[in-house]
Structure 1
């Protein structure tokens, strides 16, 4: 059994894989037909040479074939980042997702426990009382009734067990940091996608276009895989098949520029407490940065025409208690599902 050998040999000569070759390679990799040495060599070969849009699209196609799907409305959005930026901020996309849900846009939130940070979305949500291990039909119910459902990546991508040990032992970012967030079990058509490096802005938008998304912002904020309030944020916008790039500053959102320490979080318990504070009305730097990401998401969703309207709708979601109610409903439904 040659496994990944022919693909590793091609990558070693710095040649890109075609989309079909990438699909074939990831089929082998995610079916458990390659040794851990081959998996590690293949992933690091791609990383060192630089992953291409075709390789990403080929990998995502196999992830989608093997995932456990979730039904979601056509207008649902995912708000997700690659992770791996090393900044240990609060759970910004998690709070932004609740704000967007409170503003009336259905959110199919895809995420995992922390790998390189102290707290991933799953860590914070479980601390808040959300049950993670529920069936796909109950996640769909959460989206319908709470406005938001959480898809715990490790439950929806069981084939990842074949690559998990190698990823942990490598201890470095791999193509899966990009592929994972692109492999929504709900097959959303709209996405706010944060990337750990600006080099992924345009390739990320191209990959989303190839995967059939209709509206997306790929964002990077001064070292963060989010829109930031610590400095300028770069955006690659996908809309109607066209990609354009621009920059946004905290001033564009009407918020203060802050230091990174102002939005640095802690473990799941610390971040969950900070999130509850904001839902309860606290005016903090965490609120501001989450509002910025929610505003961007509302533009992607077609709910807001610009940043000003997006910030208004996002603020309204918090101030009226809509975002807090979305969380409470999510907690109630997910727990009833887990018990039922």
Structure 2
């Protein structure tokens, strides 16, 4: 079948291709998502395309094209410190856990690692990053550049930096399931980070995430998926975090090379725990648990955060937890212990309080 040039295709043309099972090359996917973002497609057709891609399985080229369309239209954050990292899950795993990556961001910032945490309100979960931050009293309009400079952290609310994404909001909310947009978000950080730790809900998505970020010039990336299993309180699916509930499959991009391995909680000296041990609720409930964590509470939530933070320190270039391309248990335990110190001494809580009072966005005197 001969397909016209992307510029000659209407959105309906592209939808027809996808509905017949054809994969889209990167240019055609970029054209399709450009039309969505520019408000030139209606909700029914947007939903149709998203589900056609999901049912078949999104390809790296389709994801690359969509990401290019979004990046070219985003409102960027300039002058982010060198080495700034993002930690973000795609959501859509259906397990409704506490906000792990948001908690990890506070730990990293307290350790002096600049974190540009890209997030949104809940679409396919009960409490997204923006929801829980609002419940914590953290203003989402903070000057990101100043916050990164003064508190080593900025929460980048997606609507503020991707305003045109509103054209897809109704279709996404109505569908209420993981779509390609869940994957796009973590790959379109407005601070243009080149270091990322990204969780996905399906192990089949690990390679596309790494492949796309490699094509876009990322420096160091870990993509993680807690392997699919059945929990008594949740569906059979993967987990978009590094988990205590079993092994986590990891894909890495470091020094231009891709690799893979499995990570288990015992490697970092953590006890296994079911997902039900970190089950979350609405924004207020998750916010209360997050603040208790920052005040030094112990348990599976803390251990999950420390395991993820230890790996994030590696991605940030502030630790080395691999030996010959495989997890080094001694190094993992050391990195996790280092992360735990800022929960115990109040430094992570201080980051939260600085954001609440606006001190993080105050200009440092010259």
Q: The TM-score by the shorter chain falls in which range?
A: over 0.9
Q: If the length of structure 2 is used for normalisation, what is the TM-score? A: 0.87
Q: If the length of structure 1 is used for normalisation, what is the TM-score? A: 0.94
Q: 1:180 pairs with 182, 185, 190, which one?
A: 185
Which structure carries more relative contact order (alpha carbon 8 Å, separation 6+)? 1
Indicate the SS of the match to 2:75: coil
Q: Which residue of 1 aligns with 2:231?
A: none
Q: Which residue of 2 aligns with 1:248?
A: 263
Indicate the SS of the match to 2:334: helix
Indicate the SS of the match to 2:253: strand
Structure-1 separation of matches of 2:16 and 2:295: 56
Q: Write out per-residue CA displacement over residues 109-131 of structure 1, whole angstroms, 9 at most, x where no aligned residue.
A: 00111122221111111111100
Residues 130, 335 of structure 1: 8 Å contact kept? no
Q: Which residue of 1 aligns with 2:57?
A: 50
Residues 77, 107 of structure 1: 8 Å contact kept? yes
Deviation of residue 259 (structure 1)? 1.8
Indicate the SS of the match to 1:163: helix
Indicate the SS of the match to 2:259: strand
Q: Which residue of 1 aligns with 2:195?
A: 190
Q: Write out per-residue CA displacement over residues 207-245 of structure 1, whole angstroms, 9 at most, x where no aligned residue.
A: 111121110110011331000111111110110111111
Q: 2:283 pairs with 259, 264, 268, which one?
A: 268
The runs of at least 4 aligned residues of structure 1 exceeding 6 Å deviation read 334-337
Residues 209, 238 of structure 1: 8 Å contact kept? yes
Structure 1, gaps ≥5 residues long: none
User: Is the counterpart of residue 332 in structure 1 residue 357 in structure 2?
Assistant: yes
Q: Write out per-residue CA displacement over residues 48-81 of structure 1, whole angstroms, 9 at most, x where no aligned residue.
A: 2221111111111111111111121120000001
Q: 1:192 to 1:336 in 2, by over 3 A?
A: closer
Q: Write out per-residue CA displacement over residues 305-329 of structure 1, whole angstroms, 9 at most, x where no aligned residue.
A: 1123321221122223221122122
Deviation of residue 82 (structure 1)? 0.6
Q: Which has the higher helix share?
A: 1
Q: Aligned ranges for residues 15-54 of structure 1 at < 5 Å?
A: 15-54=22-61
Q: Which residue of 2 aligns with 1:319?
A: 344
Q: Which residue of 2 aligns with 1:77?
A: 85
Structure-2 separation of matches of 1:23 and 1:174: 16
Structure 2, gaps ≥5 residues long: 1-7, 228-237, 322-331
Residues 146, 361 of structure 2: 8 Å contact kept? no
Q: Which residue of 2 aligns with 1:157?
A: 162
| RMSD after superposition | 1.7
